[in-house]
Amino acid sequence: MEKLEILNELREFYAGKRIFLTGHTGFKGAWMLFLLRELGADVSGYSLAPLHKNDLYVLAGGESLCNSRIADIRDRESVEAAISAVRPDLIFHLAAQPLVRESYRRPLETFDTNIMGSVHVLDAMRRLPDACTAVMITTDKVYENMEGGFPYKENDRLGGFDPYSSSKAAAEICIASYQKAFFTPEIFAEHGKAVAAARGGNVIGGGDRADDRIIPDLIRAIEADEELKVRNPQAIRPWQHVLELLYGYLLLGMRLSRDPLHCQGAFNFGPCDQDEMTVEELVTTAIRIYGKGRYIHRSDAEKLHEAGILRLNIDKAMRVLDWHPRWSSATAAEKTIRWYRQVAEGENAALSCRRQILEYFGEEKA
Ligand SMILES: NC(=O)c1ccc[n+]([C@@H]2O[C@H](COP(=O)([O-])OP(=O)(O)OC[C@H]3O[C@@H](n4cnc5c(N)ncnc54)[C@H](O)[C@@H]3O)[C@@H](O)[C@H]2O)c1
């Protein structure tokens, strides 16, 4: 489908919809908030407070764009009160402890947030009297990683070595249970509820400030005029621009609401075959586009288990949702680094996001 045509279809569907967005103060959540507002949706957010004063949500004035509730996803009563007050048409659940290395430091909190947080959202949805669709964001790391290099399909075995990956795999089992036990697609007309899981890989984009992620680490190193220490330069990751994944979530939410029987289950969102970059290629591309920065290989790094290679088979998302990656990893890197450079040069962060959203959908003027 042509770019503008799909933007119009998304606008028609999302305009005026009540959306409950968890994780709205985070990197992907803030971009999702801007996208949903661009489509005319009425967004209520539920998250912890932003961590840094230069987080995207703060820089781009996210608080003025939604009804923001700062609260903990582990607090069942609070989640239920918030969801029953909003009575959302759709839920996008992004709130999580999303970092592998942090999950080694805080495994209990990671399991609690990622598993029970998801269950709290699903159960609050179950209690809603009205129809509701939920897109639950997990990760490509839910697969039992055989390190074989072959692309994982949605029905491959779930697993997870580190606490982050296994907490998300466990959340997927809970999501599938709620779907089978309470939101059965075959009797959708009786309950009006539909749920699906979205699995994506490493996303990059302007405004990410998380620790232990390659682009934010590089930007911090550039700002401090220091060398970036790269742990695994040859590791391949499915780099994609954040808008690519969020576009997938939006399509999934729309199609799942209309046709739960054919859009149920889990969906992989990743780059096309052959569109791969190593960590080192990403870093050198980013340094070239920013115009400054330097890096070294850090061989003394703390040795925690990290998956070497992870590829996703995206046939299901292409076939069922008509979702197709639009930006190559090189374009994703270019857009991301331009965003940081322009904002460092004084451009308004919200304007930079809006311009890239419109570029992504083929409406260039912001
Ligand atoms: N960024 C990536 O590369 C990537 C890749 C795959 C999957 N994901 C998934 O996408 C989602 C968003 O990730 P992100 O990169 O934006 O992370 P982020 O750290 O920038 O944002 C996380 C969000 O979750 C909220 N949160 C964390 N703990 C919470 C709690 N106890 N209660 C309420 N809110 C809580 C934070 O306040 C924040 O809004 C996560 O589910 C993550 O696992 C991210």
Q: What pLDDT score does 275 carry?
A: 82
CA of 236 to the centre of ligand 1 (A): 22
Q: Does residue 366 carry a pLDDT above 50?
A: no
Ligand 1 in contact with 203 (CB < 6 A)?
Answer: yes
Q: What pLDDT score does 276 carry?
A: 81
Ligand 1 in contact with 137 (CB < 6 A)?
Answer: yes
pLDDT digits (tens, 9 = 90+) for 252-270: 999 999 999 999 899 999 9
pLDDT digits (tens, 9 = 90+) for 288-324: 999 999 999 877 655 666 655 678 999 999 999 999 9
- Measured CA to CA, the distance from residue 363 to residue 366 in angstroms comes to 8
CA of 42 to the centre of ligand 1 (A): 21
Q: Does residue 251 carry a pLDDT above 70?
A: yes
Q: Does residue 237 carry a pLDDT above 90?
A: no
Q: What is the pTM of this model?
A: 0.95
Q: What pLDDT score does 211 carry?
A: 84
Range of lowest pLDDT (27-31, 182-186, 271-275, 307-311): 307-311
Q: What pLDDT score does 303 carry?
A: 62
Ligand 1 in contact with 113 (CB < 6 A)?
Answer: yes
pLDDT digits (tens, 9 = 90+) for 4-55: 789 999 999 999 999 999 999 999 999 999 999 999 999 999 999 999 888 9
- Measured CA to CA, the distance from residue 95 to residue 135 in angstroms comes to 12
Give the pairing of strands 236-237 and 277-278. antiparallel
Domains along the chain? 3-203+241-274+308-328 (3.40.50.720)
Ligand 1 in contact with 72 (CB < 6 A)?
Answer: yes
Q: Does residue 338 carry a pLDDT above 80?
A: yes
What does the pLDDT average to over 107-122? 98
CA of 23 to the centre of ligand 1 (A): 6
Mean of pLDDT over the chain: 92
Continuous H helices in 46-205: 56-59, 76-86, 100-105, 107-111, 117-127, 163-181, 188-191
Q: Report the nearest atom of ligand 1 relative to the CA of 48.
A: 37
Q: What pLDDT score does 156 carry?
A: 95
What is the DSSP secondary-structure string of 255-304? HHHH-TTTS-EEEEE-PPTT--EEHHHHHHHHHHHHS--EEEE-TTS---
Q: What pLDDT score does 305 carry?
A: 63
